[in-house]
Amino acid sequence: MRRQGSVVLVGGGPGDPGLITVAGLAAVRGADVVVTDRLAPLAVLDEAPAHAEVIDVAKIPRGAFTSQERINELLVEHARAGKRVVRLKGGDPFVFGRGGEEWQACAEAGIPVEVIPGVSSALAGPALAGVPLTHRTLTQGFTVVSGHLPPGDPGSTLDWGALARSGTTLVVLMGIATLPAITAELVAQGMPATTPAVTVMEAALPGQRSVVGTVADVAGLGEAAGVRAPAVTVIGPVAALSLLPPPSGARPGPGAPPPPGGSSVAG
Ligand code: SAH
């Protein structure tokens, strides 16, 4: 009798292969098929068994992509063929990763499916830039939103006025293209223009860098510095804290990892 196939949605973390979980790595090492995309930590694929088939469904923002429906079908088809399928995703599978839809597609097809949570870029990006999302004297919470739809878009469910007044740190994912509109709306809704803000690009990847400013100028500074996706923007008093040591003239020795946090383009 053919072995029962299964699907595991694995959160791969923000990009550094050191930031996948032990359970996530074990799942990759036991996979027959790994379905991956642009934001998954590609170095982790080296850990897949030699016989494993790797399917890259690279998604390019606002460009050509494998449709979510096709990805769902791929997971189901391979599991039906008796394979142990790992869907390797960036960050956490259930934070803006459409992991919920993949879970539903498997469950509806009667495929055993489980999720292994991952380190979301919403948390890791700020942390790796030395920005604590909460800080006892500054804020007692944080809010993570998608910037995919700009303020005023009929499809948006976000109340930007409430976000502007929430008193929590605001973390914006998928918000590089819309950041000028988002930050302008926050200020228009009463957030002080002097509120600190930082954009962290390619967190946990070799190209990591940060642009520091205020809610009023972080979008423009980022544009001028060539910031592009993937990037997270943190808005709130904590964005002015950098717990990293200040950059010094000292260069790391040969083979040493780059300094955490990358360079601070502004601020
Ligand atoms: N599930 C993922 C998020 C997927 S949405 C997670 O939990 O991290 C894609 C968005 O995540 C990107 O547009 C960007 O805002 C953010 N992102 C993912 N990887 C990132 C990285 N290495 N550095 C900065 N932002 C990242």
Q: Is 113 near ligand 1, meaning CB less than 6 Å away?
A: no
Bond prior to 41 in cis (omega within 30° of 0): no
Average pLDDT over residues 58-79: 79
Evaluate if residue 36 carries a pLDDT over 90.
yes
Q: What is the pLDDT at residue 59?
A: 53
Would you kindly state where each structural domain of the chain is located, as residue ranges? 6-116, 121-266
Rounded to an integer, what distance in angstroms lies between the CA atom of residue 119 and that of residue 96?
A: 13
How remote is the CA of residue 209 from the centroid of ligand 1, in Å?
14
Annotated catalytic residues are 37, 59, 174
200-219, pLDDT tens digit by residue? 999 999 999 999 999 999 99
Rounded to an integer, what distance in angstroms lies between the CA atom of residue 243 and that of residue 54?
A: 39
H/E stretch holding 199 reads strand 196-201
174-189, pLDDT tens digit by residue? 999 999 999 999 999 9
How remote is the CA of residue 224 from the centroid of ligand 1, in Å?
21
pLDDT band at 65 (very low <50, low <70, confident <90, very high): low
Query: What is the CATH number assigned to the segment(s) 121-266?
Result: 3.30.950.10
86-134, pLDDT tens digit by residue? 999 999 999 998 999 999 999 999 999 999 999 999 999 999 999 999 9
How remote is the CA of residue 113 from the centroid of ligand 1, in Å?
23
Tokens (6 digits) for 245: 């040591």
Pick from 10-24, 55-69, 144-158: least confident: 55-69
Rounded to an integer, what distance in angstroms lies between the CA atom of residue 54 and that of residue 62?
A: 24
Q: Is 110 exposed, middle or buried (0-12, 13-18, 19+ CB in 10 A)?
A: exposed
Q: From the options 3.30.300.100, 3.40.1010.10, 3.40.50.2300, 3.40.50.300, give the CATH code of 6-116.
A: 3.40.1010.10
Rounded to an integer, what distance in angstroms lies between the CA atom of residue 203 and that of residue 119?
A: 12
Looking at ligand 1, which atom is closest to the CA of residue 94? Answer: 1
Return mean pLDDT, the chain. 90
Q: Is 195 near ligand 1, meaning CB less than 6 Å away?
A: no
| pTM across the whole model | 0.90
Q: What is the pLDDT at residue 38?
A: 84
